[in-house]
Amino acid sequence: MTERLDQPRELTYRLRLYYDPEAFGEFSERFARFLGTARFIVYMTVFVGVWLLWNVFAPYKFDPYPFIFLTLMLSLQASYAAPLILLAQNRQADRDRIQYEQDRVTAERNQAEIEYLTREIAGLRMALGEVATRDYIRSELQRLQDELTADPPRSRGAGSEDAR
């Protein structure tokens, strides 16, 4: 029977496992963080050392030389560790990208505020240029005082000639 393109497909239900991607991502970050510690290296060294000592000196050897089962277990551990580490790195890269974007927006906002304040300061400086400063007023008062002491004004009292 041919499939008709003008009608929707019939739903087919499949058995799918559900997992919480966020919880799995957090687990991968904790796991990757643990793999990067000296404690993990010490634990693995002790585990491998005990494994080797047991299979060399113990009467019951469950993994005799060439230690194929140990190799298989270490390969299995590495095959799970690598994708978990990559997942943790991807999540960190996503967080870094979001942080970079927020930093960029903040920097743009700060730049706009700095430009606004620069224009305001320039406006204030121009307005202050039109305002008399203390030094300017002192110099003007000094000039007037010098004029008054150099040429005293004529008095216009009642006994003067102009009053008659």
Dist. CA 116–CA 122, nearest whole Å: 10
Written as six digits, the tokens of 106 are 């903040």
Residue 10 DSSP SS3: coil
Distance between CA atoms of residues 34 and 40, nearest Å: 7
With a cut of 80, say whether residue 129 has pLDDT above it.
Answer: no
Residue 133, pLDDT > 60, answer yes
What is the overall mean pLDDT for the chain?
A: 86
Distances (CA, A) of 19 to 22, 23, 24, 88, 92: 9, 8, 7, 17, 20
**Percent of the chain with pLDDT strictly greater than 70:** 90
pLDDT, greater one: 121 or 10: 121
Evaluate if residue 25 carries a pLDDT over 80: yes
The sign of the CA dihedral 10, 11, 13, 17 is: positive
For the ranges 11-20, 22-31, 80-89, 144-153, the lowest mean pLDDT is seen at: 11-20
pLDDT band at 55 (very low <50, low <70, confident <90, very high): very high
pLDDT at 56: 92
List phi, psi (to 5°) of 59.
Answer: -70, -35
Q: What is this structure's pTM?
A: 0.55
The answer to whether residue 164 scores a pLDDT higher than 60 is no
Q: Is 29 helix (H, G, I), strand (E, B) or coil?
A: helix
The pLDDT score that the predictor gives to residue 24 is 85
pLDDT at 158 over 70: no
Query: Can you say whether residue 67 is alpha, beta or left, with left for phi > 0 and alpha for psi between -120 and 50 degrees?
Result: left
pLDDT number for residue 106? 96
3-state secondary structure 90-106: HHHHHHHHHHHHHHHHH
Output the pLDDT for position 162. Answer: 52
